[in-house]
Amino acid sequence: MSSLEELSHRHEDEAKLAESEAVPRGAPILELRGLQKKYGLVEALKPATVTFLAGEIHAIVGENGAGKSTLIKLLTGVIRRTAGEVFWCGKPVQLATPNEAISRGINAVHQEVVLCPHLSVAANMFLGDEMNRYGLMRKAAMERAAQAVLDDLGFQLPAAALLGSLTIGQQQLVATAKAAMRGIRFLIFDEPTAYLTRQESAQLFRLIRRLRDQGVTIVYISHRMEEVFELADRVSVLRDGAHVGTRLISETSENELIALMINRSIEQIYHKEKVPVGKVIVETRGLSGPGFSDVSLSVRAGEIVGLYGLIGAGRSEFALGLYGRQPVSAGEIFWDGAKVDIRNERQAMELGIALAPESRRDQGLCLNLPIGLNINLPVFRRLSSGLTIRRGDEAANADRQIRDLRIKTPSRRVLASAMSGGNQQKIVIGKWLSHGARLFIFDEPTVGVDVGTKAEIYRLFGELLKQGAGIILISSYLPEVYELADRLHVFRGGRLVASHDHRAATHEDVLTQAIGI
Partner 1 sequence: MSVDTTTESAPAPKKGTNILLGLTLLGLLLFLWLLLGVSTNAFWTPNNISNLLRQGAMTAILAVGQTFVIITAGIDLSVGAIVGFTSVIVAWLLQAGVPLWLSIILTLLIGVAIGAFHGFGIVRMGLPPFIITLATLTSLRGIGLLITNGATISISHEGFTNFSRADFLGVPSLFWMVILVAIPAFVFLHLSRWGRYLFAVGSNKEAARLSGVNVDRTIYLAYILSATCAAFVGLLLASRIGIGNATQAEGWELQAIASSVIGGTSLFGAVGSVHGPLLGAFILATINNGANLLNINSFWQRIITGLLIIVIVYFDQLRRRGSR
Site residues for partner 1 per CB under 8 A: 39-42, 44, 63-67, 69-70, 240-241, 262, 323, 325, 345-346, 349, 355, 357, 362-370, 373-374, 376-378, 380-381, 383-384, 387-389, 391, 406, 408-411, 413-415, 418-420, 422-423, 431, 450, 452-453, 455-456, 459
Q: Which helix (H) or strand (E) holds 385?
A: strand 384-385
SS3 of 68-102: the string is HHHHHHHHCCCCCCCEEEEEECCEEECCCCHHHHH
Number of Cβ within a 10 Å radius of residue 13: 7
User: In whole angstroms, how close is the CB of 79 to partner 1 at the nearest point?
Assistant: 9
Q: Which residues contact 170 (CB under 8 A, 6 or more apart)?
A: 155, 157, 200
Nearer CB in complex with partner 1: 449/490: 449
Nearer CB in complex with partner 1: 106/455: 455
Nearer CB in complex with partner 1: 99/368: 368
User: In whole angstroms, how close is the CB of 513 to partner 1 at the nearest point?
Assistant: 30
Nearer CB in complex with partner 1: 308/323: 323
Tell me the C-alpha to C-alpha distance, in Å, between residue 373 and each of 322, 366, 411, 450.
Answer: 26, 9, 12, 25
By the 10 Å C-beta count (0-12 exposed, 13-18 middle, 19+ buried), 341 is classed as exposed
Nearest 5°: CA angle at 196, between 190 and 197? 150
Nearer CB in complex with partner 1: 84/158: 84
Nearer CB in complex with partner 1: 83/366: 366
User: In whole angstroms, how close is the CB of 195 to partner 1 at the nearest point?
Assistant: 17
Nearer CB in complex with partner 1: 212/239: 239
Parallel, antiparallel, or unpaired for β 186-190 and 106-109? Answer: parallel
Nearer CB in complex with partner 1: 282/351: 351
Q: Give, as one character, the DSSP assignment of residue 116.
A: -
Residue type (1 letter), 4 = L
User: In whole angstroms, how close is the CB of 178 to partner 1 at the nearest point?
Assistant: 27
Nearer CB in complex with partner 1: 129/362: 362
What DSSP letter does each residue of 312-375 carry, written as one string?
TSSHHHHHHHHTTSS---EEEEEETTEEE---SHHHHHHHTEEEE-S-IIIII--TTSBHHHHH
Q: Give, as one character, the DSSP assignment of residue 280.
A: E
Going across the sheet that includes 280-289, the strands are: 292-300, 280-289, 330-335, 338-340
User: In whole angstroms, how close is the CB of 471 to partner 1 at the nearest point?
Assistant: 17
Query: How far is residue 28's CA from residue 16's CA, in Å, rounded to a whole number?
Result: 20
User: In whole angstroms, how close is the CB of 169 to partner 1 at the nearest point?
Assistant: 20
Q: Output phi, psi for 502, to 5 deg.
A: -50, 120
Polymer length of the chain? 517
User: In whole angstroms, how close is the CB of 48 to partner 1 at the nearest point?
Assistant: 14
User: In whole angstroms, how close is the CB of 377 to partner 1 at the nearest point?
Assistant: 4
User: In whole angstroms, how close is the CB of 290 to partner 1 at the nearest point?
Assistant: 16
